[in-house]
Amino acid sequence: MRTLACGLMAACLVALTGCGITGTWRTNTVEPSSAREKFELGSVTLNSDHTYVAEAQYSGKTAKREGTWTFDHGKLTFKGKDGHERTYNAELIDMGSRLRVETESHGSKVVAIMKRE
């Protein structure tokens, strides 16, 4: 019981501080599945210095994006070197092994589950 309580406390601390979000994440599933081609983020590496490198899909081609990121109150925001900014609702799930990312695309909610690599 004590181990479970300590694990829950650690998970809460990670979720509240955002410390556990650093690392490389790859899109695993997208719901609805018909929105997969509209969800551009293929993988992203969130560095501890708040820089990121992402692979995004645009019209069937892979593009590399770089910039800075913040994670605050369930909002994951990317600001590219080109000044373009994009914000997602995000939360760590499954004890930090997966990242649930939610956005809106063409008027519909899209939820992606990203797995830590």
Mean pLDDT, the chain, as a whole number? 84
Rg over CA atoms, the chain: 15
Residue 46 DSSP symbol: E
Tell me the C-alpha distance between 73 and 98, whole Å: 17
CATH superfamily of 2-116: Calycin beta-barrel core domain (2.40.128.20)
Tell me the C-alpha distance between 21 and 80, whole Å: 18
pTM of the model: 0.78
Tell me the C-alpha distance between 92 and 74, whole Å: 9
pLDDT bracket for residue 106 (50, 70, 90) = confident
Q: Where are the domains of the chain?
A: 2-116
